[in-house]
Amino acid sequence: MTTFTNFADLASFVADERRNDTLTQTYEGAFIEHSEMAKLSVVDAPEQLDMPDPEQVRAAVEMMMATMFDVLRDTRMEPFAADLAWGFANSFHVVAKRIEGREDDAANKLRDLARAFDPSEIYATELEETQTLCQTLQGCREAMECMRDHAAEVYRVETGKPFSPVRGSRVSSGLTASMIDARDYLAARSRERREQFAPEGPVVAFSGGQKDWNDADLLFRGLDKIKARIPEMILATTAQSKGADAIAHAWAASRGVKVIKFMLDRSAGNRAAFIRNERILGLKPVEAVVCEGTGIQANLAQKLRQANVPLHIVKLAHQASAKQA
């Protein structure tokens, strides 16, 4: 029997036992030391701090996520495992966003310093330290996003549903599909991140009702056929958390397809859903899938037909359960 005196040794053991080349390469690519010195805040002096061992971090994330499902499986607490695991994944997301905010502040300061060149030694020191701060925060954000994406993938495998934060976008480092809030897509914030928040590629629109949709195989087959024709497709959905849209999000996560989620703008009142349809149409989709739902789906289908977008209508009666009945 193997014994361990600390968590790092345990993590290393688990990492060796569960080695995955793709995951290993992803972690090694994210846990990069951009410079020999690190600086984590404006007031801290630069110091020599190493990044964590990527294999140990990978093992720790996997243990944390998978153990929760394993411990609660086949017990009365099993239904709550997914909620707990979602909370873990969301914690990585929230922390990554906080780091991103600090990184943006540092980048703005670095840009201002570059515009106001000063030959003094004080200016040179401040410029160098601000650049170190920006690089350190960038590395920490990329590492945290890698951990989040890994946790999100474990969540997807265990639950069959993609991890999606309550608000905002989740751009992926490559482990899982990105889920991008439409507001981020329509207003990509900076040139460096434009491809993350406004990816280039043909858009396929998708919308469906929330009720009575349960035949995942039917929708998976249909979307697989579209992806076979349009390998670089981006899926734009009406972002509903249940029914057909939820199945489409699960498909996208399993196939590595980027998703643009058009949430309702509640400030628009009763017209919110119809304004959302117009925004989806504004992306000029090359193909569309509309699953039977309410008048909102009917309105989107009508607009797509008027725009001569190739359209697939999927009815509730097409589901396997409906045919059996």
φ, ψ dihedrals at 38, nearest 5°: -125, 145
Question: Pick the residue with more confidence: 68 or 189?
Answer: 68
- CA–CA separation, 84 and 66 (whole Å): 11
Determine contact, residues 171/149, Cβ cutoff 8 Å.
Answer: no
Q: What is the pLDDT of residues 200-239, one digit of tens each?
A: 789 999 999 888 898 999 999 999 999 999 999 999 999 8
Determine contact, residues 280/296, Cβ cutoff 8 Å.
Answer: no
Paired tokens of 146: 């890698």
Show Cβ contacts of residue 93 under 8 Å, excluding neighbours closer than 6 positions.
148, 165, 170
Give the residue from 144, 69, 61 showing the smallest Cα distance to 101.
144
- Give, for 236, the enclosing helix (H) or strand (E): strand 234-237
In the numeric block, the tokens 């905002």 are attached to 168
- 174 pLDDT higher than 70: no
Extended strands (E) in 82-188: 179-181
324 pLDDT tier (thresholds 50, 70, 90): low
Determine contact, residues 189/103, Cβ cutoff 8 Å.
Answer: no
Determine contact, residues 162/261, Cβ cutoff 8 Å.
Answer: no
Give the residue from 155, 157, 189 showing the smallest Cα distance to 171.
189
72 pLDDT tier (thresholds 50, 70, 90): very high
Paired tokens of 312: 């697939």
* 3-class DSSP string for 49-88: CCCCCHHHHHHHHHHHHHHHHHHHCCCCCHHHHHHHHHHH
DSSP notation for 172-193: -SSSS--EEEHHHHHT---GGG
